[in-house]
Structure 1
Amino acid sequence: MREVFQQELREVQDRLVEIAGLVAESIENATRAFNESDVTLAETVIANDPQIDALATELDELAINILARQQPVARDLRIVVSALRISASLERMGDMAEHIAQLARYRFPDKVVPKNLRGTFVEMGRLDVEIAKKLTELLRTQDTDIAEDIRNEDDKIDDLHLSVFDKVLGEKWKGEAVDTVDATLASRYHERFADHAVSIAKKVMYLATGDWVPDEA
């Protein structure tokens, strides 16, 4: 019975890695669609999001089934409960990627943001893609150094997010109302994507070390 339980826990981890890989692919395609005004790629991201949702739901059902049948305790219980919370964060990351792709689709054939902000969004997208790939590896290995890398990359995205608001609220901003809305929404989606990754990284660090990383003031 114990061997079956350990196999089920490994399946939970494998499914998390699978979902994280799909999320990484989704954000990579979404940022390309956004930056290059590629409506075909945007449609692909939007069409694939239900797969991420379905896999997250299936994982939740597996975790709940394990809780009901195996009644795990101590660290095993933390693993299963954390998997439920990580699954929810991954699903939301997929949603953020979908929202970015939707902006690209709505504004096609035009670019979503004005020229003076495009470099900022290229960098935000690059960082989000990097974070997503590192998150997949973190879930596979539970390497705490990767978790720390994710937190550091998130700080960079936070700075870029603030810089977008500084520009659209500044006196020199000449964009139309729709440009302001698109820029602030897109920036928020990138920022929230990274925030969910940090939330997952904290949970993995807790499972690996037993120490909870507090939120920064």
Structure 2
Amino acid sequence: MNPSRHILQDFDAALHSLRADVLMMASLTDRNLQNAMACLLDGNAELCAVAVADEEEIDELEKKIDNDGVEILLRFQPVASDLRRVISTMKVSANLERIADQAVMVAQRARKLTALPVLNDAHALGPMFMEATNLFRDSRDREIDQINHDIADDFSEKMAVHPERITDYVNLIFIARHLERVGDHAKNIGEEAVYAAEAEDIRHRRAEVSAEEPAS
């Protein structure tokens, strides 16, 4: 066999394995986020424990992907589009790990709320959760920022009306912030996908567009 062809086949196999691990990591992270929010919205404390426990598997996958990615870079020394694919895959993995971290923080705060009388306002986070999930799956993030701003204002007002539940509302505000960060990391994943496919860095494009828009 031609040595160059053999090296190319080995590289393709290594990259395929790397990306398969990222797909598995994405699936686990998605499930983790769903479990954390089910704990909050349905009061299922068992799912909080599952979300926290599952993070270890996600962390191990992230370490494996990072190590395998470095090995690919050192062994094959890819260039151009191949280099972009490897680096982007590693960056996606890092953002997935951060989303999983946010899911765990949601679960930990939700678990505190499940031990208390039901707070119906928790369901106000439902639309934000749906947006975070959509962002995770197709990478948009503007709407979730506005939802978080509105929710924080609403909960702050309710704290004044119901001072006995200030701690509960503070937990909800922090959960909203965790969901907003999920959106931020999902946006990063979308940007890495564009970079891997088109060699175009769009990280600052959104800021430039926002700066050009008239204030509402």
TM-score class, shorter-chain normalisation, is 0.7 to 0.9
| Local SS of the residue matching 1:215 | helix
Structure 1 spans left out of the alignment, 5+ residues: 135-145
1:157 aligned partner = 144
Distance 1:197 1:185 in 2: 18
Moved over 4 A (4+): none
Residue of 155, 171, 174 corresponding to 1:185: 174
TM-score (norm 1): 0.84
Counting matched residue pairs gives 198
| Local SS of the residue matching 1:211 | coil
Alpha-carbon shift at residue 172 of structure 1 (Å): 7.7
Contact 2:40–2:114 (8 Å) recurs in 1: no
Bigger mean CA deviation after superposition, 119-128 or 94-103: 119-128
Deviations 1:27-82 (A, max 9, x none): 11111111111111110111111000000100000001111111111111111122
Alpha-carbon shift at residue 111 of structure 1 (Å): 6.1
**Identity, % of aligned pairs?**
27
Question: Equivalent residues in 2 for 1:14-163 (5 A)?
Answer: 14-110=20-116, 114-115=119-120, 117-132=121-136, 134=137, 146=138, 150-151=139-140, 154-163=141-150
Bigger mean CA deviation after superposition, 98-107 or 194-203: 98-107
Distance 1:107 1:207 in 2: 41
Are the structure 2 counterparts of residues 42 and 88 from structure 1 closer, same or farther at C-alpha, using a change threshold of 3 Å? same
Q: Over aligned residue pairs, what C-alpha RMSD do you find? A: 1.9
Are the structure 2 counterparts of residues 104 and 183 from structure 1 closer, same or farther at C-alpha, using a change threshold of 3 Å? closer
TM-score (norm 2): 0.84
Alpha-carbon shift at residue 162 of structure 1 (Å): 0.5
Distance 1:104 1:12 in 2: 33
2:196 aligned partner = 207
Alpha-carbon shift at residue 127 of structure 1 (Å): 2.3
| Local SS of the residue matching 2:161 | coil
Structure 2 spans left out of the alignment, 5+ residues: 1-6, 211-216
The residue type equivalent to 1:160 in the other structure is I
Contact 1:23–1:52 (8 Å) recurs in 2: yes
Distance 1:155 1:199 in 2: 13
Bigger Rg, structure 1 or 2: 2
1:138 aligned partner = none
Q: Looking at both structures, which has the greater relative contact order when contacts are Cα pairs under 8 Å and sequence separation is at least 6? A: 1
| Local SS of the residue matching 1:72 | coil
Bigger mean CA deviation after superposition, 159-168 or 93-102: 159-168
Alpha-carbon shift at residue 95 of structure 1 (Å): 0.7
Alpha-carbon shift at residue 120 of structure 1 (Å): 2.2
Contact 2:25–2:62 (8 Å) recurs in 1: yes
